[in-house]
């Protein structure tokens, strides 16, 4: 590897989604020279790409927002209980401009390779156009759901009509009016898109392999009173959310199902249904560990589906029977089930009659052919590990992330990886990430990583690395808490089961966001246990490795010193 000729930055962040934006704000404020590299021509990450009709958050807008700036919290006005994608993207752009972040983001640059060099302890990132960037630290802020999964259906490239993936939607509006449309997939994206596509299309065929549990959002304009309540109590509400297992208020339950009488169980399920959204996930505190408890909620939702869907056969097909409620991400909908009462909508059961191929004209199953003008692939993502694996990341001795994670992701705290010094991840596998309010999860990781970097700067170390033992122990712990739960009982993207050939490993940390936060704090409070810190060969004799909790103050500084202004 050639020595760096260009200036080497303190930190390169990859990704300008919600994680990358907050990282840039925080690191710049702390005086680190930071550059964000982003593949798109704008900020927003997942919210930039997922522009399909009906795309919106499934955590309520007032909570699905940054907490780091009180004035931002007070100034920004969300208009709906669950904000739609354009409004979330507008929020990301507002934050970018409000804090002057744009000038330190390099857009339209796809990072293809990231290589650590032992000799100088630096990372070199190379774009697909062979532009090279050097930094002491790399922080992967790639998002968990940013590598769209385009299934390898025979003939897919032969289709003569329009074909779109929900995770890679065109910027211009797609007009479905008068067209015959097929949606493949029935996860959250499809559940949000289908009712709106159905309103326009001449006919819509929904190709369903696995039905999902979907809970009504009861979305609508955000009334002034609830906005005022949130804005007057943001500190208390955020603090309360941080003490919960999901970072989402009103979600946790104090009762296991068996503690309640059948009437009380029903009242609780009904209360959560009437409230709407994800809180059905925790109707009882043993819902993800006790099959009987789970079945109470599952059968309640199935009854609701049957009440809504008029055609008996269609209703039966829409009722999930093959996985526990919540073991796949719950969907949150507006009129999803009702859409199947429309005359122009057909549910096609591709579990019984799989798609055999896509032809120039449309979809052919083992039972029938469907002529289509438009195919919408709502087929999800190579979640959590996919975004990292799309980059050729090389740590010590050239070891690749692909090889390192060939049997499933291995991380320490979902933040760091042994053999990949000075590389951090935000909401990486092994952290609660997708099982919690992701905005809170992002802020927790960014704050923790920033504090760690400040600690290193003040102690003079410039290399940090997770120890193999700490990583092994964390992987065991992540599995130990997941294995007794019902999460492992379904073919979900949490398990990597949606991607052919992907190792079947439960990837997020299911031990609870509040517990996890405490564990991370213990690690830092005790001097970064499980990490080793050292000085790079450029600034210290080789082998100056000091375990983090034994470290001594070293006078020379290898970072840029804190500065008041931003990096450019």
Residues 6+ apart with CB under 8 A from 404: 395, 410, 417, 419, 420
28 vs 47, which CB is nearer to ligand NA7? 47
309 vs 540, which CB is nearer to ligand NA7? 309
3-state secondary structure of 388: helix
- CA–CA dist 225, 466 (Å, integer): 47
Residues that bind ligand NA7 (CB under 6 A): 145, 151, 153, 166, 184-190, 209-210, 329, 350, 355, 378-381, 493, 498
11 vs 513, which CB is nearer to ligand NA7? 513
For residue 425, what is the enclosing H or E element? Answer: strand 423-425
Q: How far is the CB of 50 from ligand NA7 (least distance, A)?
A: 8
380 vs 530, which CB is nearer to ligand NA7? 380
Residues 6+ apart with CB under 8 A from 531: 412, 416, 464, 465, 466, 467, 470, 523, 548
Q: How far is the CB of 190 from ligand NA7 (least distance, A)?
A: 5
Q: How far is the CB of 168 from ligand NA7 (least distance, A)?
A: 11
Q: How far is the CB of 279 from ligand NA7 (least distance, A)?
A: 15
The dihedral sign for the CA sequence 98, 101, 103, 109: negative
134 vs 195, which CB is nearer to ligand NA7? 195
Q: How far is the CB of 409 from ligand NA7 (least distance, A)?
A: 17
187 vs 460, which CB is nearer to ligand NA7? 187
Burial class (CB in 10 A: 0-12, 13-18, 19+), 275: middle
- Contact assessment for residue 498 and residue 210, using Cβ atoms and an 8 Å cutoff: no
474 vs 493, which CB is nearer to ligand NA7? 493
- CA–CA dist 459, 289 (Å, integer): 44
Distance of CA 461 to the CA centre of its chain: 31
Q: How far is the CB of 18 from ligand NA7 (least distance, A)?
A: 14
Q: How far is the CB of 184 from ligand NA7 (least distance, A)?
A: 5
- Give the DSSP letter of residue 154: T
380 vs 395, which CB is nearer to ligand NA7? 380
- CA–CA dist 276, 481 (Å, integer): 28
- Contact assessment for residue 415 and residue 181, using Cβ atoms and an 8 Å cutoff: no
- Contact assessment for residue 448 and residue 520, using Cβ atoms and an 8 Å cutoff: yes
117 vs 294, which CB is nearer to ligand NA7? 294
Of 238, 233, 261, 260, the closest CA to residue 249 belongs to 238
- CA–CA dist 53, 50 (Å, integer): 9
**Nearest-CB residue to ligand NA7?**
187
- How many CB atoms within 10 Å of residue 155? 14
The dihedral sign for the CA sequence 225, 227, 228, 232: positive
Q: How far is the CB of 531 from ligand NA7 (least distance, A)?
A: 30
Q: How far is the CB of 374 from ligand NA7 (least distance, A)?
A: 16
């Amino acid at each position: 590897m050639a020595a760096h000729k260009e200036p080497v930055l303190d930190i390169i962040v990859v990704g300008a989604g919600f994680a990358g934006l907050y990282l840039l704000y925080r690191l710049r404020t702390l005086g680190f020279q930071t550059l964000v590299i982003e593949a798109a021509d704008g900020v927003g990450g997942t919210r930039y790409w997922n522009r399909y009709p009906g795309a919106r958050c499934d955590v309520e807008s007032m909570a699905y927002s940054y907490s780091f700036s009180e004035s931002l919290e007070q100034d920004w006005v969300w208009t709906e209980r669950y904000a739609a994608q354009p409004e979330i993207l507008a929020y990301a752009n507002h934050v970018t401009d409000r804090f002057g972040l744009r000038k330190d983001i390099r857009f339209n640059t796809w990072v293809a390779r990231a290589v650590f060099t032992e000799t100088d302890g630096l990372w070199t990132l190379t774009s697909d156009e062979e532009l090279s960037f050097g930094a002491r630290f790399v922080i992967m802020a790639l998002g968990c759901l940013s590598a769209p999964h385009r299934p390898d259906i025979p003939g897919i490239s032969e289709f003569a009509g329009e074909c779109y993936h929900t995770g890679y939607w065109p910027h211009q509006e797609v007009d479905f009016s008068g067209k015959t449309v097929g949606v493949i997939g029935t996860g959250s994206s499809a559940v949000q898109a289908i009712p709106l596509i159905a309103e326009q299309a001449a006919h819509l065929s929904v190709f369903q392999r696995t039905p999902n549990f979907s809970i009504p959002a009861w979305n609508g304009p955000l009334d002034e009173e609830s906005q005022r309540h949130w804005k007057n109590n943001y500190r208390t509400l955020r603090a309360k959310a941080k003490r919960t297992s999901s970072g989402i208020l009103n979600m946790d339950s104090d009762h296991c199902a068996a503690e309640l009488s059948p009437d009380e169980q029903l009242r609780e399920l009904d209360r959560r249904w009437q409230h709407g959204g994800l809180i059905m996930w925790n109707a009882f505190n043993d819902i993800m560990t006790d099959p009987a408890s789970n079945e109470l909620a599952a059968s309640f939702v199935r009854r609701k589906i049957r009440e809504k869907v008029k055609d008996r056969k269609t209703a039966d097909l829409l009722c999930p029977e093959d996985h526990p409620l919540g073991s796949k991400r719950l969907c949150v909908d507006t009129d999803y089930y009702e859409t199947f009462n429309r005359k122009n909508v057909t549910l096609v059961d591709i579990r019984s009659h799989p798609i055999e191929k896509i032809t120039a004209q449309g979809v052919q199953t083992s039972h029938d052919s469907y002529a289509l003008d438009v195919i919408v692939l709502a087929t999800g993502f190579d979640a959590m590990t996919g975004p990292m694996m799309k980059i050729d990341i090389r740590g010590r001795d050239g070891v690749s992330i692909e090889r390192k994670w060939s049997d499933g992701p291995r991380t320490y705290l979902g933040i760091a990886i042994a053999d990949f010094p000075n590389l951090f991840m935000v909401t990486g596998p092994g952290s609660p990430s997708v099982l919690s309010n992701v905005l809170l999860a992002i802020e927790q990781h960014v704050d923790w990583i920033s504090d760690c970097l400040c600690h290193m700067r003040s102690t003079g170390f410039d290399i940090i690395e997770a120890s193999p033992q700490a990583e092994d122990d964390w992987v065991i712990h992540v599995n130990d808490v997941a294995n007794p739960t019902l999460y492992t009982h379904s073919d979900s993207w949490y398990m990597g089961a949606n991607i052919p050939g992907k190792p079947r490993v439960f990837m997020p940390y299911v031990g609870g966001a509040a517990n996890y936060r405490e564990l991370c704090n213990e690690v830092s409070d005790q001097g970064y246990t499980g990490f080793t810190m050292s000085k790079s060969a450029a600034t210290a004799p080789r082998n100056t490795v000091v375990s983090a909790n034994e470290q001594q103050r070293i006078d020379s500084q290898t970072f840029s010193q804190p500065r008041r202004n931003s990096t450019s």
